[in-house]
C-alpha cells in the first residue's frame, strides 16, 4: 500500500496493464466507428456510443494503475493505432491530446484512487473522439466539400448537411456525458475483475518468409501509406499503389492475406463504381461511407498486415529503441499489438460458451465484456510477473542479440514508396 501512495513512477507491470486494456479499448472503439459508417446519424453519435461501452476497460485500467501518465499513454496508443490504419486527422489529434491532458489533471487532483474522480476523467477522456464529427458542425462548408470530393453520393451529403449543426454537437456531448451514470455497472465490473480471473494464451510469432525487411523500413512505409491515404488522387494511382503493396507482402510470404485483401479491395471498387450508382439510393447513402473509408485505409491495412504477421514483437521493440523511443511507450505499445490475437482467441471461446448456454439479446454484451475484462486482468498479472522476473524494471540500457541493418531491398522499397507519395501529392 505504501508503494502505491508514494511511488508514482510507471513500472513494467503498469505499462503491461496499460497495453492490454488499451487493446480492448481500441477494439470497442473501432467496432463503433465501423458501425457509424452505416448511416450519418450513427456516425454523428458514434463518440457517444464509444463512451458508453468503452468505460469498463478504462475504469479497470485506472483502478489498477493509480499513477500519472496512464490515461495519456492509453490515448497515445489509440492515436498511434488509428494513424497506422489511416484514420487519423489533425482535428482528432488536437481533441484527443487536450482531453488526455485534462483527464490526467482531474486524476491528479483526486489523488488517482477516487472512483468519482476517475469517472469524471473518463467523461473528459471520451470527449476526444468528438474530433471525428466535430468538423461537420464547426467546419461545415469545408467538411461537406471534402466528403463530396471523396465520392460520397448526393443523398448522403444532404443527410450529413441536415444533421450537421451546433445543436447536434450538443446532443452528442450530452450522450457522451451519460457515461457517468454507468458508474455503478463499471464499479461492479471492476470489483468482479479484481477478485476473479481467467487465463489467456498469447499467439506465437510468424513463420519465416522469403523476403525480409528491416522493421524500421516497414514503419516508414506505414507512414508513407498514411500520407498517400490523406491525399486526394486518381483511382488509377490508388489501384497501382495497392497492387504494389500486395505484391510486396506476397514476396514476404503473406500470400493468403494478400489474396483476401485483393478480393476485398476489388469488392469495394465494384460496389462504389457499379453497384451503388445503379442500385437503390438507400443502399448508397447507408454504405458508401464504409466503402469509401475502407478504400482509403487499404494501403495502411496491407502494410499493417505485413508488420503484424511477419515482424516479431522483439524485433519491433529493438527497432523502436534504435530510434531512441522511450521505454515507457515501447512496452505498452508492444503489449497492445501482441494482445490483439489473444483477444480474438479469448472472445471466440466466450462466444462458444454463450452458444452452449443459449444466451441471447442484450445479455450477450455483459457476458462478453465481463469475462474479457477478467481475462485481461489475469493476463496482466501473469505477464507482469514474467516481465519483472526477466528484468523489465532494470534501469540499465537494454541490449539485444538481434542485429539490424538496412539492406538493398529496404532502400528500394522506401524509394518506391516515396515515388508513389510524390505522385499522389502531385496528382492530388
Task: Output the DSSP codes for 47-113.
Answer: HHHHHHHSHHHHHHHHHH--STTHHHHHHHHHHHHHHHTT---HHHHHHHHHHHHHHHHHHHHTTT-
Q: How far apart are CA 388 and CA 384, in angstroms?
A: 6
CA-wise closest residue to 113 among 187, 16, 5, 14 = 5
Task: Output the DSSP codes for 385-401.
Answer: HHHHHTTTT--SPP--S
> 261 and 163, same structural domain?
no
Q: Say whether pLDDT at 1 is over 50.
A: no
> 223 and 181, same structural domain?
no
Q: State the pLDDT confidence band at 275, using cuts at 50, 70 and 90.
A: confident
CA-wise closest residue to 53 among 411, 289, 369 = 369
**Largest separation between any pair of C-alpha atoms in the chain:** 68
**What pLDDT sits at residue 118?**
87
Residue 394 falls within a domain, yes or no?
no
> 178 and 130, same structural domain?
yes
**Within 13 Å of residue 20, how many CA atoms lie on the same side as its CB?**
29
Position with higher pLDDT, 13 vs 232: 13
When mean pLDDT is compared across 2-16, 152-166, 302-316, 331-345, the lowest value belongs to 152-166
Cα–Cα distances (Å) from 373 to 56, 183, 344, in that order, read 8, 16, 13
Residue 395 falls within a domain, yes or no?
no
Q: State the pLDDT confidence band at 328, using cuts at 50, 70 and 90.
A: confident
56-73 average pLDDT score: 88
pLDDT digits (tens, 9 = 90+) for 356-382: 888 877 778 778 877 888 888 888 887
pLDDT digits (tens, 9 = 90+) for 77-102: 888 877 776 665 666 777 788 888 99
Cell of 346: 479469448
> 163 and 28, same structural domain?
yes
Q: How far apart are CA 40 and CA 287, in angstroms?
A: 10
Residue 398 falls within a domain, yes or no?
no
> 330 and 313, same structural domain?
no
> 253 and 172, same structural domain?
no
> 26 and 165, same structural domain?
yes
Q: How far apart are CA 253 and CA 82, in angstroms?
A: 25
**What pLDDT sits at residue 206?**
41
Q: Running DSSP on this structure, what letter comes out for residue 1?
A: -
Residue 2 falls within a domain, yes or no?
no
**What pLDDT sits at residue 49?**
73
Residue 376 falls within a domain, yes or no?
yes
pTM (two decimals): 0.68
Supply the range of the domain harboring residue 357: 8-203+326-389
**What pLDDT sits at residue 241?**
87
Q: Say whether pLDDT at 141 is over 70.
A: no
The answer to whether the CB of 233 falls within 8 A of the CB of 413 is no
Task: Describe the crossing of helices 46-53 and 166-177 by its angle, rounded to 10 degrees.
Answer: 10
Q: State the pLDDT confidence band at 286, using cuts at 50, 70 and 90.
A: low
When mean pLDDT is compared across 69-83, 161-175, 294-308, the lowest value belongs to 161-175
> 111 and 89, same structural domain?
yes
The answer to whether the CB of 215 falls within 8 A of the CB of 318 is yes
> 189 and 50, same structural domain?
yes
Cell of 364: 450477450
When mean pLDDT is compared across 57-66, 179-188, 194-203, 339-348, the lowest value belongs to 194-203
Percent of the chain residues past pLDDT 90, beyond the cut: 2
**Within 13 Å of residue 390, how many CA atoms lie on the same side as its CB?**
11
pLDDT digits (tens, 9 = 90+) for 193-247: 444 443 333 333 444 446 788 888 888 888 888 888 777 667 888 888 889 999 9
State the alpha helices, DSSP H only, in 88-211.
Answer: 90-109, 115-126, 135-138, 140-149, 154-163, 166-177, 183-195
Q: State the pLDDT confidence band at 16, using cuts at 50, 70 and 90.
A: confident
pLDDT digits (tens, 9 = 90+) for 108-138: 999 888 888 888 888 888 877 765 555 555 5
> 260 and 306, same structural domain?
yes
Q: Running DSSP on this structure, what letter comes out for residue 38?
A: S
When mean pLDDT is compared across 57-71, 135-149, 276-290, the lowest value belongs to 135-149
> 408 and 384, same structural domain?
no
311-331 average pLDDT score: 82
Residue 396 falls within a domain, yes or no?
no
Task: Output the DSSP codes for 213-262.
Answer: --HHHHHHHHHHHHHHHHS---HHHHHHHHHHHHHHHHHTT-HHHHHHHH
Q: How much is the mean pLDDT over the chain?
A: 75
Please state the domain count of the chain. Answer: 2
- The three-point CA angle 292-294-297 to 5° equals 110
CA-wise closest residue to 385 among 1, 13, 10, 61 = 13
Give the list of residues 6+ apart from residue 179 with CB closer than 8 angstroms, or none: 51, 52, 55, 122, 123, 126
> 261 and 146, same structural domain?
no
- Using DSSP's 3-state secondary structure scheme, residue 403 falls into coil
Cell of 312: 516479431
320-325 average pLDDT score: 83
Residue 330 falls within a domain, yes or no?
yes
Residue 335 falls within a domain, yes or no?
yes
When mean pLDDT is compared across 40-49, 182-191, 287-296, 407-416, the lowest value belongs to 182-191
Q: Say whether pLDDT at 273 is over 60.
A: yes
For residue 153, the tally of other CB atoms under 10 A from its CB is: 21
Q: Say whether pLDDT at 57 is over 70.
A: yes
- Using DSSP's 3-state secondary structure scheme, residue 343 falls into helix
Amino acid at each position: 500500500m505504501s508503494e502505491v501512495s508514494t511511488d508514482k513512477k510507471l513500472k513494467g507491470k503498469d505499462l503491461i496493464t496499460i497495453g492490454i486494456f488499451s487493446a480492448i479499448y481500441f477494439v470497442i472503439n473501432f467496432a463503433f466507428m465501423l458501425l457509424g459508417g452505416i448511416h450519418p446519424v450513427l456516425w454523428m453519435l458514434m463518440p457517444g456510443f464509444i463512451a458508453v461501452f468503452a468505460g469498463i476497460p478504462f475504469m479497470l485500467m485506472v483502478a489498477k494503475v493509480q499513477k500519472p501518465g496512464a490515461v495519456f499513454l492509453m490515448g497515445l496508443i489509440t492515436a498511434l493505432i488509428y494513424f497506422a490504419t489511416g484514420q487519423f486527422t489533425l482535428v482528432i489529434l488536437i481533441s484527443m491530446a487536450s482531453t488526455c491532458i485534462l483527464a490526467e489533471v482531474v486524476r491528479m487532483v483526486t489523488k488517482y484512487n477516487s472512483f468519482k474522480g476517475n469517472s469524471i476523467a473518463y467523461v473528459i477522456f471520451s470527449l476526444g473522439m468528438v474530433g471525428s464529427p466535430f468538423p461537420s458542425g464547426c467546419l461545415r462548408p469545408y467538411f461537406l466539400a471534402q466528403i463530396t470530393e471523396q465520392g460520397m453520393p448526393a443523398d448522403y451529403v444532404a443527410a450529413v448537411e441536415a444533421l450537421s449543426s451546433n445543436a447536434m454537437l450538443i446532443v452528442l456531448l450530452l450522450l457522451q456525458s451519460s457515461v457517468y451514470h454507468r458508474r455503478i455497472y463499471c464499479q461492479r465490473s471492476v470489483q468482479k475483475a479484481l477478485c476473479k480471473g481467467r487465463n489467456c494464451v498469447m499467439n506465437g510469432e510468424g513463420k519465416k518468409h522469403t523476403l525480409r525487411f528491416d522493421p524500421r523500413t516497414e514503419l516508414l512505409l506505414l507512414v508513407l501509406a498514411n500520407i498517400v491515404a490523406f491525399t486526394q488522387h486518381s483511382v488509377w494511382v490508388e489501384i497501382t499503389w495497392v497492387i504494389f503493396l500486395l505484391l510486396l507482402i506476397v514476396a514476404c510470404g503473406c500470400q493468403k492475406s494478400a489474396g483476401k485483401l485483393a478480393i476485398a479491395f476489388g469488392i469495394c471498387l465494384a460496389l462504389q463504381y457499379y453497384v451503388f450508382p445503379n442500385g437503390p439510393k438507400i443502399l448508397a447513402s447507408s454504405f458508401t461511407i464504409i466503402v469509401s473509408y475502407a478504400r482509403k485505409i487499404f494501403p495502411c491495412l496491407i502494410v499493417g498486415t505485413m508488420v503484424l504477421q511477419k515482424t516479431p514483437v522483439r524485433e519491433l521493440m529493438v527497432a523502436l529503441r534504435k530510434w531512441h523511443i522511450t521505454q515507457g511507450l515501447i512496452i505498452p505499445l508492444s503489449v497492445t499489438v501482441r494482445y490483439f490475437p489473444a483477444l480474438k482467441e479469448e472472445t471466440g471461446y466466450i462466444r462458444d460458451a454463450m452458444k452452449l448456454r443459449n444466451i441471447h439479446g442484450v445479455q450477450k454484451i455483459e457476458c462478453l465484456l465481463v469475462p474479457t475484462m477478467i481475462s485481461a486482468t489475469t493476463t496482466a498479472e501473469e505477464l507482469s510477473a514474467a516481465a519483472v522476473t526477466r528484468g523489465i524494471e532494470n534501469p540499465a540500457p537494454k541490449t539485444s542479440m538481434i542485429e539490424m541493418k538496412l539492406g538493398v531491398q529496404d532502400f528500394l522499397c522506401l524509394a518506391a514508396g516515396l515515388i508513389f507519395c510524390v505522385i499522389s501529392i502531385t496528382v492530388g
